[in-house]
Structure 1
């Protein structure tokens, strides 16, 4: 399932967006934008570049640091609900697959 982009106004009255994982965890927060169209253009750029982005390893050579132990969540903190919405592109891809012929001249692998 895909993540969700959330567009919001920060404390300085600037537009930002955050990318949330399906489990509700915040994966990334954008820089501040002056207006909403610029923030939407930023989301478009992230969608375009992130899927095929290269990985640049900037970590120092040597032994890896010990992983931090996960902190327990306080009992009073509610667990975020999982967003079950499906992205429009995913629906289009699924619909195209359903329309594709399974046999005959248009089927994959049939000449």
Structure 2
């Protein structure tokens, strides 16, 4: 069975959605939405970009800030290597 999205109302009466894995594990919880229709639109947006999203690794700095590294796609882009042959 594939994962599924679940729309719910939180303790503060906000509408949210969560993504559940095939085993029922909560994988992600959304921000608060005004209504169910907005939450459903948020689910559609996640479905559209989840398969094409890049992976980034972040590192916390000593002062609590976050630094971003290059995306995984840029790090693994093949490089053009030129071979230098000796002159004859």
> Would you say same fold, with TM above 0.5?
yes
Unaligned runs of 5+ residues in structure 1 are 61-111
Q: 1:59 Cα deviation (Å)? A: 3.0
| Equivalences for residues 1-111 of structure 1 within 5 A | 1-59=1-59
Q: What TM-score comes out, normalization by structure 2 length?
A: 0.64
Greater relative contact order (Cα < 8 A, sep 6+): 1
Unaligned runs of 5+ residues in structure 2 are 61-88
Higher share in strand: 2
> Could you list the per-position Cα deviations for residues 1-20 of structure 1 after superposition, in whole angstroms to 9, with x for gaps in the alignment?
42110000111111000000
**Number of aligned residue pairs:** 60
Q: Give the distance between the partners of 1:59 and 1:51, measured in 2 at CA.
A: 24
Q: In structure 1, the residue corresponding to 2:55 is in which secondary structure?
A: coil
Q: What TM-score comes out, normalization by structure 1 length?
A: 0.51
